[in-house]
Each structure stands twice: as structure tokens, then as C-alpha cells.
Structure 1
Amino acid sequence: MRLTYFFFRPLVSAAHGWVAFDLGTRLEEKLGSQDIVRCLREANAGSLASVHPLIIASKPAWLEQAELREALKPNQAIFMLPPAALDDEKVLATSKALLADGYHIGITIADKDMVRRVPRLSFDHVAMTAALARDELTTSGSGYFSDLGFRKIATEVTTHEMYGWISAHDFAASHCGFLAERNPAGGRQPDLARLKLLKLLSIVEHDGDTREIESIFREEPKLSYNLLRLVNSVAVGARTRISNFSQAIAILGRRQLQRWLQLLIYANNLAEGNHPNPLMQLAATRGRLIELLCKSINSPSGTAERCDNAFMTGLFSLLDVLLNMPMPEILKELPLQEEVVAALADPENGGILGKLLSIVAHTEKGQFGRASLLLDELDISPDTHAAAQVLALHWAARINIDSN
């Protein structure tokens, strides 16, 4: 039996935090509810849905199938129905009953004529493309749903400008493929604080002298504060209070210090403002997912070193967006392994790591057909892929930069 590749993607709120995940597959796939149930169970998707709910595109008939409804708890799923469901009285009655029982049911809005026909007693969520919401529904049409208490979900949000509009019009969740693109309104100056952090990371990765590492920490008060806070945290478990840099570095160890710095690059406490940086979770997901998929590939060179390189490839793949610099310029400053450089410089032709990076990039953009072809080419099974996504997203969703 041929299995289907499923793809999990995070959705963000207007405050930039993750609030849901959607479950997608290639448009040409002919699915039954049993396929989705199998994926959810084999991938242990309930662990992910316990953090944020899963949005599951559903056929109306599936609502009557207890196996699908019971695969997750009522508050862990949003069953999203197609526009045609609005014309079926039986479906509306079923939706109404499930909504009363605590389930979440949504409907996809296809055009402006649907707006005032959606019964609030049968649905609590509506989904629409960002272009439809902005260009056809106008503020009044979109506001109508908000006034009645519907939670609005924006799909196909492809630009930062479009996300800005969505955020200003009371949408609860938004697709976030735009995050991987540089923001034209983000200014032209590179981020000097993060460039210094990259220099520090390079020294650590090449087993540089501890005194050289200490000197950079002394130049950066916020960085010093975060390091000492980390080593004195419960997560690290130091028995006595650590107050100097050499002790802190020794307790953490070079490997843990390296991974902490890799994540810290994306933390907003290195820049002005206190808003969460959505790039951090996305980059962390990329790194962890590529690392997990790399471990599953039967390759003579599938060593621990390659898996470390896989994590670094995913994590660093958004540095051009973060630093507002072209990737070739960044690669000149970072003495990385050759296969990491090849993957970051030209993913489509960058070997195994480049192909893995292409898979996650295609997934974020909703290009599931392209991602499926690459997964099949690398002989990564649908079950392995789904489980790796759940693990990576669950890990990234719970990241606390001060304790990792």
C-alpha cells in the first residue's frame, strides 16, 4: 500500500507567536479519513496538538466518523470543511451538534457571497486566502466574522506587507511562509550585534582559546547576563553559584555552548524591543527536522558529524533574512564545513543537506508536490517524515532561549 506524505506547518498570530499547525498534502492525493488517522497515530501527533491545535482539511462525511474525531481530543483539532458544505443541511446539523459538544469546526470562504451565509451555530472558525480577505471582502466583510465571534484564519500569506494587513484586521492565525523572505521594509543595515555573535560562534566551533571567548562575552553585557543566567538555571544543574565566564564555559561544555549560541542568534534580546522573533522557532524547526531526517538516511557518510552539519544547515538557512545580508556574504564570514556551505549557497544542487533544506523550504511554501518528490528520491518514508516533523515542531514550540 502506497502511503501519503503529510506536511505539518505552524501558523502565527498577530503577535508573532505560534498558535496552530495545519496538516496538508498534495492536492492530487485521494485521501480517506483512515489515512489521516493513521498519520496522526504513527507520528504521535497528539503531543504536538497538546501544544497548539491541528487544522485538518476534512470532507463533510468525515465528521460522522468517530475514529477521526477521537484521534485527538476535541480542543486539539479544528476540522476545516470545504465551501460546498454550506449548502448541505445535514452537514450543518452535524457541525452544530459537534460544536455544542466542544469540537472546533471551520469552513473555507471561497468568495464574498458566502460571508453572511455562514451560521455561527455550526462553525466557530473561518479560513480564507489573504488576497480574498484584503481585496474582495474589504474591512466590513472581514469585520463581520469578528463581530460574530468567529476566529479567522488567513492562508497563502506570501509577503510581509500582506501579513501586516492581516495582523491589523483581527485574524487569529496566519500561514507564515513569508517569514523566509527578506522584509523590504526591514531596513538596509546589517545587524552588528548578531554579526559579533557569529564571530563568537565561529571561535567556539573551531575550538578557540577560552580567553578569546571570554573577551567577547566581556564586551557584550546582555550576552554575559544570558550566559550566567543559563549556567545557574535548573536546566543546567550547577551545584554552586557560577559567577565567572571561565567556569560557565567549562560547565556548559563546548558542544552545549555552541548549540545555545546557534539558537541565541535568533533571540530578540540581542536587538531593540521585546517582541518575539518568529524566525527563531522557524530556524530551530528547520535545524532539528533536517537533523532528524539526516539520521534516517542510509548513507555511508551519515555520521554524527553530518547530522551536526544538518542541524547547522537548517538553523543558518535564515541568516540572510535575520541579518539582512546576502547569503554569499555571510558564508564568507563563517568558516563552515564544505557540505554546509554547498547546501546554503545552492540548496537544489547542494547534496543531501541541500535537498533536505529544499524539502523544508518547499513545505513552508505549501509546495507539497515538490517536497514529496525529494523525500521519495532520498528514500525517506512518509511515516519517518511525519514523525520527524512532529518531533521538530514540538521541540521548537517549547524552546526557551535561556534554558537551551
Structure 2
Amino acid sequence: MALITAMLHHHRVLSRAQITRRTGLNRSTVGTLIGQLVALGLAYESAPSGEAQVGRPSPEVRPSPSTAALAVYPEIDAVTIGLVSLGGRIQKKIRFPTERIPSATEAVNIAAAVIEGMRSELDTSYRITGAGMAVPGLVNQADGIVRHAPHLGWRNEPVARMLAEATGYACHAANDASLAAEAELLFGAGAGRENLIYLNGGASGIGGGVIAGGTLLRGASGYAGELGHTFVRTAGNSCHCGATGCLETEVSQSRLFELAGLAGGDAAELEHALRHAGSPEVAREVERQLEYLGTALRNAVNIFNPEVIILDGFLGILHSLSPGTLENLVRSGAMAGPAAEARIYRAALGADLMMIGAAELAFAQFLADPASAGPLPAAPVSAAARSGAPAST
């Protein structure tokens, strides 16, 4: 049951015939297990969509949207709270802007208040497996303590315990970029790959995650993947980590906003402004930042030998503004073998990425033992949720 539930979660829809082939189980066993999942309200079947095969068409099986997880993402100017159902489907997303950088206590209180406002809907329409928090900083995933989130100003904050006490749901916390790497591996540009590097650039700096052999590299305490602190410039600027010349001090979103003439905004606004700037100064800055980003990627390619490099946030914008530049920098600087294998893509999940990644934390224990799931919700979820219609924000 755990195997089939995880397959449905990751693939979103599979026919009975596909499940039989992928698991190696016989048809009667698959039929029995699917029947049990349907009875538990964890899956449902629908008419086949026309899969080409000999004989009677095989029904399609989908994960039930009534099983969901809560996701929380604190940033320097907002706290975003999401409801994500099995299959990585966003059912609801609420961004709560803040007038200043929220403290850990403020971020937890905001999330708890928003979740409390959703309580009636959650209690009647969803089976909640828990909550996950994606934090831009060093997080010990084993205990959910944020050791250092420099852009948020958090140190040694037990945010997982704080959120659990405030909401009553089991909570887990981890580094945002590592969670995003897993989300892109499962549902985005890295789907079907086993070795990838993910890099995200935003207001909170540059974070990364590394997938090797299909497994996220966590390190001794869950701090692995801090590629934003890769050394790229000898005479570089000082970084908050105490070093100089780190990638995130030389490749900066704030500088791009400044040159684009924007006081702030989101990635879409920045990209539009940069594309229409027509300024030599903007072109030089984009070239300069790509040069340092290429240096970091060259080192990462030599060390990890990835199939895919996924760039998100303003890093994805830099890549799209000068197609082929990063590929040329990597090929000219890295060893020939790993450089020839690496492909560079822009992240595919967009604004939903952190919600999907954080939700995976809350789904992990459930997917390992779906039969232990709690009772079915008292009322079915809406038709829109079942069909995967766009969520409200």
C-alpha cells in the first residue's frame, strides 16, 4: 500500500495496468490494494482516458485530494501558508505581507492564525497529515531547529515545535532550497532524473540542494547544499557568513532591482523590467553575475556530476536573459566528462515550488504507512479540488 500510494502521489495518475507493470505485482493483488486505498479514502478510480492497449481499457487511479498537508514559508517581507493535497496539488495559498522582517514567533503566530481561519474547512473536508515549514537558512531537520537564518535574523529557533504547539498538527522544518530541490525532482524540471542540482535566488540570498542517486544530500545535520556560499571571487565582498567572495554576495537580486529602476516586486516584474531596460549598465551587470554564477556551477558540476542543473528565482531570469552563456561557461571551465552531461534548465513549478516542497515534509511519514491514516473527513472536498482546478491565493 505504501508503494502504490507513493507512486500515485508522485505520478498523480496511473492506470491499473501501469501500476501492475511498475510494481511487478499480479493484477489481483493490485486490484485488492487499490480497493483498500479507495475504502480508506486515499485514492479514487475514474474511467480510462484512452490508453492504447489490447483488451479492456484499464481504469485510472488518482490520489484523493482529501488527504493534504499544510505548508509554511517565512520570508523577509511575508509569510505564505498553503494547503497541498496528494499529488502536489495546491488547494489554497495565502500570502500574508509583513511590514518588517518577521521574528520566528511572529511568523509562527501568523501561520497559526491563518490556519485557524481555515480550521472549519480543514476539519470537514481534509485529512491533514501535518505541516511543513521551509526556512531560508540552516535548519537541523531532525529537531526542526533553525540554527541560523541570516536574512531573517533567526538563531536557534525551535520553529517546528513552536508551530506544532500553536496549531496542534505534527510539524517539521527544513532548508527551503533543499525542499525545493526535492519538489522539482518529483514534480518539476527534474522529474525522472536521479542526479540534479537546484539553485534558488531571491531576497533571502542564494540557496541550493543536491540530489544524488535520487536522494537529497543532507549532511551530518541537514546543512548540505549551501551553494550560495561557494567561493567565487578572491577580492570579493564580505558575506554575513564571515567569509568573503561568496556567490550570494557577488550575484544579487537587489542590484538587479536597483538597475531595473524597481523599488521592489516579484520575479515576473523584475524579468519584464530587465528585458526592456535597453541599458548597457544592465547588460554589463547581467554578464558579470552570469560569470560568477558560471564559476559556482563549474565547481558544482566537477564535484557532483549532475544530469540537470535547475535554476529558480532571479537565477532563472539571468539564465533566460542570455541563453547559452552558462552552458558555455560550464563547458569551458569544468572537466569535459561531467560538463558534457549536465543540462541547465529553469525551474518548472514557479510560485508553488516552496509550498509543494514544504508539504513533502508533512507527507513523508504518511507515505511510509498510509494504512495508519486518520479517519475520512466528514464531508467530501469540492469538485474543483478533485479536478485539480487552480487554487485561490
Q: Is the helix fraction higher in 1 or 2?
A: 1
- What TM-score does the superposition give when structure 2 sets the normalisation length? 0.25
- What TM-score does the superposition give when structure 1 sets the normalisation length? 0.24
Q: Is the strand fraction higher in 1 or 2?
A: 2
